[in-house]
Amino acid sequence: MKMESPAGEFDVTFESVCREKDKLVIHGKTGVWDSRMYVDVDELGSLLKVMISKGAISFLLLWPYFTLKRRFGKRKAGVK
């Protein structure tokens, strides 16, 4: 995944999710740095509102199509 910001462009990976007390913790990497995102109860509601949007839902519904297109597109490109 790529993150673009005024500070630059970074690769972002999510490695695990766990709970610490009353927070959801997402472990990953931002660029070369280990990172943790802490999501508290109030922020989870706003996160879910963002994820339950037309754009996010349409992307999830089209995900199998994108996956198949990518998989079969690579095979066709490799065949001469």
**Residue 53: exposure state from Cβ atoms within 10 A (0-12, 13-18, ≥19):** exposed
Give the tens place of pLDDT for each residue, 7-35.
Answer: 889 999 999 999 999 999 999 998 889 99
Binning pLDDT at 50, 70 and 90, where does residue 75 land? low
DSSP-assigned letters across all residues of the chain: -EEEETTEEEEEEEEEEEEETTEEEEEEEETTEEEEEEE-HHHHHHHHHHHSSHHHHHHHHHHHHHHHHHHHHHHHHH--
Specify whether the CB–CB gap between 39 and 51 falls below 8 A.
Answer: no
Residues 61-75 have a mean pLDDT of: 87
Give the tens place of pLDDT for each residue, 33-63.
Answer: 999 999 999 898 888 888 899 999 999 999 9
Domain boundaries along the sequence of the chain? 1-39, 42-72
